[in-house]
Structure 1
């Protein structure tokens, strides 16, 4: 992590501040979709079963890179809103050490009211994404031990 990267806590606060600008959920959903459109290109070669997140209704691939000191993630979904959720998850967790990833609870989900406004299938998918990401972090820590 470099000095210009905000902490996970700051990233979560920034997300909460951004979502506070929008007066209703139709605007927030549009913002999520826009965030998803800005995800970096994801090569088709990485759309493999081993990187697929199970528990998501839409298709999601999550690829870990790096080691326990600094983990980065690449991810994509075939759903516009889920891609936006991925963008938020990556903002909070990518570029962090494995221990920080494991120690960071996704407080932004509650802070922006996301939990109340996602369908049950999208909520389950978000939980599955976070579980997969934290699983990768736990593996990296185990490998480093």
Structure 2
């Protein structure tokens, strides 16, 4: 199976073990604390992800083995949690694995209902930026 999809399935399982939406939200905030801080130098205009309610920056770097490493940053704590989830799913994966693994965790993990439409749209924009970085690298 695709390693990115396996990572996503594992995270979906982790969220689904939490019955209460409040606990899912709390878990997401805990993941936000794990997201490494991006340096100010990396927060260039070209790294900004458009289409997000919050400010979001993304950097994708290629490894010698052909995998991509993603760095993310946001000015909003809950978005940092989503970015950490995306990092756990996609960072260290090949471009083919990234392209072949649609980001559907928010729906499958019961998080989609926690966010208003504008925030859900922003998550789709970030997922599109990750996919585009993978497509350029393949």
4+ aligned runs moved over 4 Å, structure 1: none
Cα distance between partner residues in 2 of 1:104 and 1:17: 16
Q: Which residue in the other structure is 1:98 paired with?
A: 95
1:117 aligns with 2:114: yes
Q: Name which of 19, 25, 39 aligns with 2:35.
A: 39
Match of 2:124, SS state, is helix
Alignment partners' CA distance in 1, 2:49 and 2:83: 12
Residues 50-69 of structure 1: CA deviation (Å, up to 9, x unaligned) = 00000001000000111582
| Post-superposition offset of 1:40 | 1.2
Partner of residue 132, structure 2? 135
Give 1:90 shift: 1.0
- Range with greater deviation from structure 2 (127-136 or 7-16): 7-16
* Secondary structure of 1:84 counterpart: helix
What is the Cα deviation at residue 32 of structure 1? 0.7
Unaligned runs of 5+ in 2: none
Alignment pair present for 1:53 and 2:75: no
**RMSD of aligned alpha carbons:** 1.6
1:7-26 aligned at under 5 Å gives the runs 7-26=3-22
SS at match of 2:125: helix
Number of equivalent positions = 136
Using structure 1 for the length normalisation, give the TM-score.
0.87
* Distance across 2 between alignment mates of 1:132 and 1:106: 11
In structure 1, what is the equivalent of residue 79 of structure 2? 82
Matched residues in 2 for 1:110 and 1:119: separation? 13
SS in 2 for 1:58: coil
Identify the match of residue 28 of structure 1 among 21, 24, 27: 24
Q: Which moved more, 1:110-119 or 1:39-48?
A: 110-119
Normalised by the size of structure 2, how large is the TM-score? 0.91
